[in-house]
Structure 1
């Protein structure tokens, strides 16, 4: 894979959240033990057709892994996940992140994302969360933790009062359940960690990661 000349060139121009969530049906949620592991996994996922990565800040390698992954290919879109503090937005943007994902939303986090120029996919779990996000101008949200918070029946319940809202459910979704989530009219894509099973990462079985990525990329077309 050719390394992109520079992450700020035309190929890495800013995309909106609406554009990003439509680049593929599954956004892998990633946590890396090291920057090197992150590079191997990111390459393997890209080889399987996955172009959008959510690299979380759940490990110390997160920021450096974002910087490395964002330079691997012209068409990779790297986001920062598990944003829980406003200062995470500027840190991730400086490292090359093109969007942010949070498990929840506050006004301070919203402002920090705007100030950093980082498109944000905010997390919601309840109707009140959704209304608060919509008041701040969000039309696409992350439903988290999706399975634990009601799964598909909850998504169906949301669709009535929020018919125009687009949702990326994340949390507890598997290769087996992903198609049912993607079939919902308000689901634009899903987030998941099943593309990087712990056993495959421990064995450095990057071919298995590519296989799972290819299968995920071939799921039902995104809306």
Structure 2
């Protein structure tokens, strides 16, 4: 499975930090109501695997695991029903293991050397992280020049205001962000706001009917 294929064509990938897996199904429905059909649930809390399982059970919803930095997390993600994993950096061993499990993988890069390693490993897309600290769209454009065959998915500091600008660039197939479903929204179980912000995001990039 290619990196872009793993994202199933979704242009906005919410980055989810969730403390209570009991909120996961409602979260998936709220995102879907707003026109977002996928999410990356990060392994930053103990609830991640259970949340992935709950969201994977929602028909038509694509769920992946984020902040995957170990084989243990990788297998937990696979067992929970994740179809893709996202890592903050590029680890060749973890990439190979992920592929052997039949999962899509979006590794993180921050430099030209890491991008070259990803290209040589056959990737068609990478996570560009942390995007806001590395120069944002200007740096993506600089990297895209010598690597025209690879897409960059910015993550880190992407906002409702910057997402449309990123996505207008041909080198950016998708963006990752948490503004539409923040940890605070989830703690408050404010699914109405999550649905509203998701709808605003999708309309802003012209993908919502």
TM-score surpassing 0.5? yes
1:22–1:93: structure 2 CA closer, same or farther, 3 Å change rule?
Answer: closer
Secondary structure of residue in 2 paired with 1:39: helix
Matched, 1:100 2:85: yes
Cα deviation 1:120-161 (Å, max 9, x = unaligned): 011000000101111111111110111111111101101211
What is the aligned counterpart of 2:57 among 71, 88, 102?
A: 71
User: 151-160 vs 196-205, which deviates more?
Assistant: 196-205
- Per the alignment, residue 200 of structure 1 pairs with 185
Instruction: Trace 1:103-142 onto structure 2 (pairs within 5 A).
Output: 103-142=88-127
Equivalents in 1 of 2:125, 2:81: separation in Å? 22
TM alignment of 1:6-21, pairs within 5 A: 16-21=2-7
Partner SS state of residue 89, structure 2: coil
- Residue equivalent to 2:24: 38
**1:24 Cα shift?**
2.6
Q: How big is the shift at 1:21?
A: 3.3
1:112 shift after superposition: 1.3
Give 5+ residue unaligned stretches, structure 2: none
Measured in 1, the distance between the counterparts of 2:20 and 2:8 equals 29
| TM-score normalised by the chain length of structure 1 | 0.87
Is residue 82 of structure 1 aligned with residue 67 of structure 2?
yes
TM-score normalised over the length of structure 2: 0.93
Compare the two structures and name the one with the higher helix fraction. 2
Contact 1:22 1:188 in 2 (8 A): no
Q: Quick check: 1:90–1:112 contact (8 Å CA) kept in 2?
A: no
Q: 1:22 to 1:112 in 2, by over 3 A?
A: closer
Asked if 1:191 corresponds to 2:176, the answer is yes
**Alignment partners' CA distance in 2, 1:23 and 1:216:** 16
SS in 2 for 1:29: strand
Equivalent-residue separation in structure 1 for 2:105 and 2:186 (angstroms): 28
CA deviations on 1:14-44 (whole Å, 9 max, x unpaired) are x643234353321000011111122222221
Distance 2:80 2:187 in 1: 26
Whether the aligned pair in 2 keeps the contact of 1:168 and 1:190 (CA below 8 Å) is: yes
